[in-house]
Amino acid sequence: MNTERSDHGLSRVGQVKEVTSLANPIIKEIRALSQKKHRDETHSFMAEGLKLVIDALDLGWKIRTLVYAKAAKGKPQVEQIAARTVAKGGLVLEVSEKVISTITRRDNPQMVVGIFEQRYRALKDIHPQEGETYVALDRVRDPGNLGTIIRTADAAGASGVILVGDTTDPFSLETVRATMGSVFAMPIVRASAEDFIHWQKSAGVRVVATHLAGSVDYRTIDYRSKPVVLLMGNEQAGLPVELAREAGALARIPQAGRADSLNLAIATGIMLFEARRHLLALDAG
């Protein structure tokens, strides 16, 4: 095999580039993906783990770069995704453990990392159908909450997550990690509060807004006759009046004990599984 070593410590073996130096410009680019500004500029993000990368490729996500640790070299599944990456015009990097743990900021890193193109759906293209449930999140701030909600929405069979207003980045490393791969399965939409209000008026949906001052017990709502959008409030401020007043129902999950409210991701999970209770069965999963 031919190995060429270039100035920045990067060598080429066939289609695979071997990288050992943290100063390598491609590695610097990948490390910069920890900043939202760089993710936005390049429309890309990082996902860790062999299974996640395989799932993403199977679901048609565009991979730009595949990075794997030397220790994973020769594993059939790694060879397969490397070949698929090259076939799609992507770059494959074989790196040292030090490089991969620096990229992922972990002592015990995954052996495989993929850099993918970001993907959003446009709100105007969302036409909810019978039996569908969407989650709309007003200004969600916490990456762990957002990732958990995307994962839970996927598990409940929801059709998409709509991010309303200025929210945390669904493609940050922390959010992607918390989704456990569901970021690749769940359509994600971004919208301003105005666009969301405008859309929901004509989309033929029942918006169920959740609020600590809600007077409707969430278990008494009709989730069957129309597609449902569960509207959840910001972690600190809850739902603003402009959004709350547009909703068909202000739902509340009854609580006991001393806690003022439920964690946003927990409340969303409870709502999702109630809204889809009639559609979920043990043997259908």
Is residue 247 near ligand SAM by the rule CB under 6 A?
no
Among the listed ranges 5-13, 56-64, 70-78, 234-242, the one in contact with ligand SAM (CB under 6 A) is: 234-242
Is residue 212 near ligand SAM by the rule CB under 6 A?
yes
Shortest gap between Cβ of 123 and ligand SAM (angstroms)?
Answer: 20
Shortest gap between Cβ of 15 and ligand SAM (angstroms)?
Answer: 48
User: With respect to ligand SAM, which residue has the nearer C-beta, 24 or 210?
Assistant: 210
How many of the other CB atoms lie within 10 Å of CB of 182?
A: 21
Residues whose CB falls within 8 Å of the CB of residue 162, separated by 6 or more in sequence, listed in order? 123, 126, 134, 135, 136, 137, 189, 190, 191, 196, 229
Member of 79, 174, 195, 235 binding ligand SAM (CB under 6 A)? 235
User: With respect to ligand SAM, which residue has the nearer C-beta, 19 or 244?
Assistant: 244
Member of 267, 269, 272, 274 binding ligand SAM (CB under 6 A)? 267
- What 3-state DSSP class applies to 180? coil
Shortest gap between Cβ of 131 and ligand SAM (angstroms)?
Answer: 23
Q: Which helix (H) or strand (E) holds 251?
A: strand 249-252
Is residue 90 near ligand SAM by the rule CB under 6 A?
no
Q: Is the distance from CB of 171 to CB of 183 less than 8 angstroms?
A: yes
Is residue 264 near ligand SAM by the rule CB under 6 A?
yes
User: With respect to ligand SAM, which residue has the nearer C-beta, 179 or 210?
Assistant: 210
Q: Which of 115, 122, 48, 128 is nearest to 88 (CA)?
A: 115
**Gap between the Cα atoms of 54 and 114, Å rounded:** 10
**Gap between the Cα atoms of 59 and 62, Å rounded:** 9
Is residue 262 near ligand SAM by the rule CB under 6 A?
yes
**Phi and psi (nearest 5°) for 225?**
-80, -20
Determine the length of the chain: 285
Is residue 150 near ligand SAM by the rule CB under 6 A?
no
Residue 131, amino acid: G
Measure Cα distances from 218 to 113, 134, 165, 266 in Å. Answer: 41, 16, 25, 14
Among the listed ranges 82-90, 122-130, 193-201, 252-260, the one in contact with ligand SAM (CB under 6 A) is: 252-260
Q: Is the distance from CB of 111 to CB of 72 less than 8 angstroms?
A: yes
Is residue 217 near ligand SAM by the rule CB under 6 A?
no
Q: Is the distance from CB of 88 to CB of 36 less than 8 angstroms?
A: no
**Gap between the Cα atoms of 221 and 213, Å rounded:** 16
Is residue 269 near ligand SAM by the rule CB under 6 A?
no
User: With respect to ligand SAM, which residue has the nearer C-beta, 237 or 280?
Assistant: 237
How many of the other CB atoms lie within 10 Å of CB of 167?
A: 20
Member of 131, 238, 240, 248 binding ligand SAM (CB under 6 A)? 238
Shortest gap between Cβ of 212 and ligand SAM (angstroms)?
Answer: 5
User: With respect to ligand SAM, which residue has the nearer C-beta, 256 or 284?
Assistant: 256
User: With respect to ligand SAM, which residue has the nearer C-beta, 30 or 239?
Assistant: 239
Footprint of ligand SAM (CB under 6 A): 210, 212, 214, 232-233, 235-236, 238-239, 252-253, 255, 261-262, 264, 267
